Structure 1
């Protein structure tokens, strides 16, 4: 597995687990993970895991900025990956 793939797998797993952990903390009325951190993990490359975690754990699905923001971040990342691939800067 190349470095970029390992990085993306790690961030997506982290995004998924962070969503689950934040949901657990919310149910227990404990200290929460900030929404800024959830978006940061997504922006840094964990958008698939974060988005999946939203729906698996039913967390943040009533907040429009998550419902629209997470797929928008993913779409922008896909466009960026396609552009990098076409320029020869990224290889599958």
Structure 2
């Protein structure tokens, strides 16, 4: 259980920092982090890190397509957790 908590802590910290770096790069019109990478990190457990970074850095919060895709990731995670807790997976 401790390893799982450490995994989520490190992943969310990394996702937060990477999203902040993407915002930094965006302001300087430099090479960006692909949205796909941010979504993959969120999907594998970095949802809280991405959401926190979006609010903290005000990054991607006005991009409707990003918000919709991010919402989809959260919905899929909720369904997977629900099914797992009810022993359907």
**TM-score class, shorter:** 0.7 to 0.9
Contact 2:16 2:52 in 1 (8 A): yes
Which residue is 1:2 aligned to?
2
Q: What's the TM-score once normalised by structure 1's chain length? A: 0.79
Gaps of 5+ in 1: none
Contact 2:39 2:73 in 1 (8 A): no
Q: What's the TM-score once normalised by structure 2's chain length? A: 0.81
* CA-atom RMSD in angstroms: 2.0
> How far apart are residue 60 of structure 1 and its match?
1.1
How many residue pairs get matched? Answer: 89
Structure 1 residue runs of 4 or more that deviate by more than 6 Å after TM superposition: none
Residues 2-41 of structure 1: pairs in structure 2 closer than 5 A = 2-41=2-41
